[in-house]
Each structure stands twice: as structure tokens, then as C-alpha cells.
Structure 1
Amino acid sequence: MDADRTLLLIPTAGERRGLLSHLDKTQLRSQSWQIELCGFGLVAAAASTMHWLHQHQPDRVVLAGIAGSLHPDAAVGSASWFNDVVCDGIGVGEGASFQSASQLGWPQIAADNQNQSQAVTDRLSLCVPSRQTSSDDRSPHPNARRTLLSVCAASADPAMAQRRRDMLTPTIESQIHAEDMEAFGVALACQLHQTPCMVVRGISNQAGDRDHANWQIDPALAAAAKRICEAFKLT
């Protein structure tokens, strides 16, 4: 895959430091990659992404960082590209009584607003690279569609993580595999800017596990870097 004019977005300085320790920065620059921070959380990520899109005018955006697992196939220390992203937290209520904007019949952006031919709902499709399967993929279903859940606040405990697992009817074709806090905002900004968006996340922990002693951040970022290298022939 041609990697010209690729904007690599990373949420935090710590993730950037860890990810770039596993990537050849000289090679990235030679292939016209721009690397920027998009910030932490849905709002910061959406606003920052729009800023960087206008500044760099890339052909594509790649969002990379860590995420929490919500599915057995998303093993801690592995990484995956995601096919779509669902937004959680925009709507009415909370916990078991939460109703999303789509469930209420409210598009986040109506059709024909912001030059949208279709309404923006709680789900956005993502692009995936043609070379996306790693030789060390530990998933028993490496070709299954993977859905990322973007949340306003990370799961505080296993019960909260379980509620999020149950948000979609489980099928092998589309299951929620992990939660993050930026992908929906980045993807929405890219859609408004008509720029393809790809998301790769390294799985650093089980969603709901707040004990950082159990987290594997560096292996997760190393796995994400490997995915990027394979997809864009950076090895």
C-alpha cells in the first residue's frame, strides 16, 4: 500500500513515545508521514483531527494507540485493525437505562447538514489496509469484522465492561472487540473532511481492569507498530 501523505494520529505523548520506539522514524519521514497527537477523549480527538486535516491535507489518516479488550479474540498484547466504530455515551440516561442517539432516532449530524449525503449515526465505517493479517495473530477468527467501541469514560469495573459487551447482538460478523476513547471522534472528523480513516489499536488490558500492574502497554504498542509496518510495507 502506498503510504504517501499519511497522517498518523496518536492520542497521548506516552503512546507516541512507545509506538515510535517500534517504528523507523526516518522511513516514515521518507514516505511523507506526518505524526501528530490528537489528544485524549472523543471531543479533543475530533477537534484536533480536524485541525491536523486542514493543516496537512493527507490522503489518509491512521489512528494508533492502546485499547481495552471486550472480546476473547482481542488478546492482551495483540493488535488489530478495526472495520467500524460505535459511539457510546451520546444519548439519554446511563447504565442499563442508557439509550443511544440512534435508538432515540436522533442523528448526530442530519443528512444534508455539513454537506452530508447520509445522516451520521452512532456507527461509522472504517477503512482497513489490504495487508492486515499478522503472522502472529492469536485470534481464532482473524478475518472476522471487528467493531471498536468509543466511550466517553473507560469501563470502571468488569460489570460496566460486560454491559458494553452486550450492546450489539453477538454475531461472528460484527462484535465489539475493544473500547477506546478517540476513534469515533477521529473517524467523524475524517468523514466530514472526506478523508479515509484507519484505526489500529494494541490491546493493553481487559476493559474494566483498572490495576495497571496487569496492563501490557509496551507489548500492545509493539503489536500495533508491527501491524502498521506490515500494512504499509515499512519493514
Structure 2
Amino acid sequence: MAGADSTLLLIPTSGERAELLNHLDLRAVSMKGWHCELCGFGLVAAAAATMRAIRTHQPTRVILAGIAGGLSDAASVGSAHWFDEAICDGIGVGEGDEFVSADTLGWKQWASGDDESQESIGDQIELARPGNATGKKTPKNTLVSVCAASSEDSMASRRRNLAGETDRDSVIAEDMEAFGVAMACQMTSTPCMVVRGISNVAGDRDHSKWQINSALRSVAERLMELN
């Protein structure tokens, strides 16, 4: 049985975990009663692994940490941010400019059925945010969770528009796990927080321009600010 303040820290890949833990104060994290697990790469693995980890550790909250591709000017490479919502892109009909999301078609990804304690889940899930990160009014940060990362500017531009009208300081980024993790958390009534370091501009596949180390160092800084 988990302790009163247990946190489940989920990281997608072993590479991200090694780099992130290299920057974290492990003793301080241990004293906070955190458990660290891999959640896997991609939406499907992340959802399944999160459900298993929640069942094992019964945490009071889940934090997903890792890297993401920036979709807005505010998502500067090397920075890290907490997010307020995860939007799923790719579940529906068609592709590219012809894509129509499941929600738009009137289909829910999870229909609660007769269980009135569970809300239906569409293409967007609200995320929790640390209390000390919301002491002042901040722009709404959005993660677009995808099955395949943007390979060009036009794909990234379409995904950026999924966030709708936003403040110019809003951080918009794409990842491949947040929506799956948030889905598992929502179905188990577990608060879910997501912090991502911006390793690259979405659509830029030139890895020589990526700043994974700097991005994960910034993620570690955000995590250590938690109460």
C-alpha cells in the first residue's frame, strides 16, 4: 500500500531516465516517497504500463517526465514546462488535412456506460499542475500526443492549430505518451501531471540541433521545485 504522499514518476525511455536521474537530487526525490518507472515509448505502451504501475504502487499522483518537440514560439529548445491539457491526434478517420477526430465524429475514446462514477473521455484530457506552479496566472500549456512525430513543418503547423486560440506565451508541444498516461490516470481517478523538456523544434529531424541534455536538465529543475 502506498504512503500518504507517494508519487509515481514515469519516464518513457531508459535513455531519458538515465539522463534525467543524472540531474536529479536522488536523495531528495527518495525522501519525497517517489517511485520511478519506465512507461514505454508511444501512446499504447504508455497507457498499459501506467495502469500496471498504478495498480502496483497505488500512488496519490502520477508525474510524466521526458522530452517533447516544440510547436510554439514559447516552447524554446532547452526549456521545460508543466502542461495543462493533453490532446490526442490520430484517433479518428483519415490523415493529414483530411483527418477528422473521433470527438468531432461524435465518438468517445472511452464511454463510461453504466458506471456513473466515470466520465467519458474524448480527445482532450485536463492535467493537474503543481500548486507552486500556479501561484500566478499563467498561459494554458497544451501537449499534442501523437503516434508518429512530425516529420516536416506542415505537419507540425497542423498540430499546433489543434490547441485552438492561445495566448502568445502559451507553450504548445508534441509528445507520444501524455494522453495515454492521462487516460490511465483518469480511469483510476489518479491526478496526472506532465512536465516536458523541449529537446527540438517539432518537424526538425536533424538530431545535431536537438538539445536533449539541456531539456532534461530543465525537467529536473522543475521536478525539484515540487513540494
Please, what TM-score do these two structures have when normalized by structure 2?
0.93
Moved more, 198-207 or 105-114: 105-114
Structure 1 counterpart of 2:56, which letter?
Answer: Q
* Aligned counterpart, 2:83: 82
Residues 103-118 of structure 1: pairs in structure 2 closer than 5 A: 103-112=104-113, 117-118=118-119
* Aligned counterpart, 1:187: 182
> Contact (CA 8 Å) 2:74, 2:169: kept in 1 or not?
no
* Aligned counterpart, 2:26: 25
* Aligned counterpart, 1:138: none
Structure 1: runs of 5+ lacking an equivalent: 134-140
Cα separation, partners in 2 of 1:115 and 1:45, compared to 1, 3 Å: farther
Residues 1-235 of structure 1: pairs in structure 2 closer than 5 A: 4-112=5-113, 117-132=118-133, 143-172=138-167, 177-232=172-227
Q: Secondary structure at the match of 1:45?
A: helix
Q: Percent identity?
A: 56
- Cα deviation, 1:9-34, whole Å, max 9, x if unaligned, reads 00000100111111111222222110
> Contact (CA 8 Å) 1:149, 1:176: kept in 2 or not?
no
Structure 1 counterpart of 2:151, which letter?
Answer: A
State the shift of 1:115 in Å. 5.7
Q: Secondary structure at the match of 1:121?
A: coil
State the shift of 1:173 in Å. 8.8
> Contact (CA 8 Å) 1:110, 1:116: kept in 2 or not?
no
Q: Secondary structure at the match of 1:106?
A: coil
> Contact (CA 8 Å) 1:79, 1:200: kept in 2 or not?
yes
Structure 2: runs of 5+ lacking an equivalent: none
> Contact (CA 8 Å) 2:140, 2:171: kept in 1 or not?
no
Cα separation, partners in 2 of 1:107 and 1:129, compared to 1, 3 Å: same
> Contact (CA 8 Å) 1:116, 1:192: kept in 2 or not?
no
Moved more, 221-230 or 167-176: 167-176
Q: Distance in 2 between the 1:103 and 1:116 partners?
A: 24
Q: Distance in 1 between the 2:214 and 2:89 partners?
A: 27
Structure 1 counterpart of 2:57, which letter?
Answer: H
Structure 1 counterpart of 2:107, which letter?
Answer: W
> Contact (CA 8 Å) 1:42, 1:182: kept in 2 or not?
yes
Q: Provide the aligned length of Structure 1 versus Structure 2.
A: 225
Q: Distance in 2 between the 1:41 and 1:180 partners?
A: 8
RMSD of Structure 2 on Structure 1 (CA): 2.2
Q: Distance in 1 between the 2:160 and 2:147 partners?
A: 16
Structure 2 counterpart of 1:209, which letter?
Answer: D
> Contact (CA 8 Å) 1:42, 1:151: kept in 2 or not?
yes
